[in-house]
Chain A
Amino acid sequence: MSNAFGTAPVKIGHATVGASGGSGSKNIQAGTIHELTFNGQQTITIPAGGQVVSDGTNYVVTAGQNLSVNLYLPDSIVAPSINYISQVLSYSSTIGDHTEETAGTAFTGVSFSYYLFDGIEVSGSGATGAIVAIGDSITEGFGSSLNANRRWTDFLATRLQTKPSVFGVVNEGIGGNRLLLDGASPESAESRGSIATGFPRRA
């Protein structure tokens, strides 16, 4: 979870992960919700400009599986950090902690962006490596079908699953990305975001 562009700390009151009912689904498959903790605690505060990684959880997933991450945010967050080209719907709930609910009925707000959500790491996958796709919105998936996982990186990942040597695919595309000037996102997005800081940790 990332508060990369925040000017104030962000508190996560409760976090869970489970199997999504489908790409962009409001629902979570029954019996799949796992608690996420931070140094054994249910809550964590992300400092302004910082990020946190949860403790590991013993949750077996399959390649290409859509996961649903739920964050209860008890305090006021002004101008949260977002990834605005998700090409998959995210949801915000009515008041309260709904992180353990499989039904999506409380999630009445809809967004096209990811909020605070940074990444997921899966260990012991059997993969022999990962291919990191770096680029702009074309790589990130802008223009591909909503909730359909039709980014070119999705197709690449699917094809690679059929090969003897399994490689993961990490989509690090940033919409509006430029090398020398600010685009739709600040030039510093790379250094604040995934590539400079997150990638070494991930790969």
Chain B
Amino acid sequence: MQRHQEKTLRKFAEKYWVATLALVLTGATFLTFTPEPAYAQSPTWIATWGASPVTPDTGITIANLTVRESTH
């Protein structure tokens, strides 16, 4: 009986060890070979500047003129 249990346990341990090893190898492979996100590799990454309108200016009317605005 005891011999049978030891055999079963050893088999389980071997199975568990194999599964663990497989898991570790899978994880290592994933960590090693997962590519960087596409945005970090893009050669045409777009840097931006923005100051979006957030409200209407009800106090003025613009007509037939030019506005000149500076970025920062």
- Minimum distance in angstroms from A139 CB to a CB of chain B: 12
Q: Are B68 and A93 in contact (CB under 8 A)?
A: yes
B55 at the interface (CB under 8 A from A): yes
Q: Are A104 and B48 interface neighbours, CB within 8 A?
A: no
Q: How many A-B residue pairs have CB under 8 A?
A: 208
Known contacts A76-B61, A77-B61, A129-B40; is A70 also within 8 Å of B47 by CB?
no
Using a CB-CB cutoff of 8 Å, which residues 27-79 of chain A contact chain B?
66-79
Q: Mark B46-72, 1 if CB is under 8 A from A, else 0.
A: 111111111111101111111111111
Contact flag A119-B67 (CB < 8 Å), given A80-B62, A92-B62: no
**Is the beta-carbon distance between A98 and B66 smaller than 8 angstroms?**
yes
The complex places the Cα of A140 from the Cα of B65 at a distance, in Å, of 28
Whether the pair B46, A24 counts as a contact (CB closer than 8 A) is no
Do the beta carbons of B56 and A79 come within 8 Å of each other?
Answer: yes
Complex-state Cα separation, A72 to B47, whole angstroms: 26
User: Given known contacts A122-B46, A123-B45, A125-B45, is B66 in contact with A5 (CB within 8 Å)?
Assistant: no
Q: Report the Cα distance A124→B44, complex, angstroms.
A: 4
Interface residues on A, range: 35 or more
Q: Which residues of B contact A84 (CB under 8 A)?
A: 54-55, 57
Question: What CA separation (Å) do A133 and B54 show in the bound complex?
Answer: 16
Q: How far is the CB of A194 from chain B (nearest CB, A)?
A: 4
Which residues of A are found within 8 Å of B51, using beta-carbon distances?
83, 86, 114, 117-119, 171
In the complex, chain B residues whose CB is within 8 Å of the CB of A115? 53, 57, 62, 67, 69
B55/A189 in contact, CB under 8 A: yes
Q: Which 9 A-B pairs have the closest CB atoms?
A: A119-B50, A81-B53, A194-B52, A168-B47, A193-B52, A5-B56, A185-B54, A125-B47, A76-B63
A-B contact pairs, 8 of them (CB 8 A): A67-B70, A68-B71, A92-B67, A113-B57, A123-B44, A130-B48, A171-B51, A194-B52
Chain A interface (Cβ < 8 Å from any Cβ of B): 2, 4-6, 14, 20, 23-26, 66-84, 86-99, 104, 106-107, 109, 113-130, 149, 151, 154, 168, 170-172, 174-175, 184-186, 189, 193-194, 198, 202-203
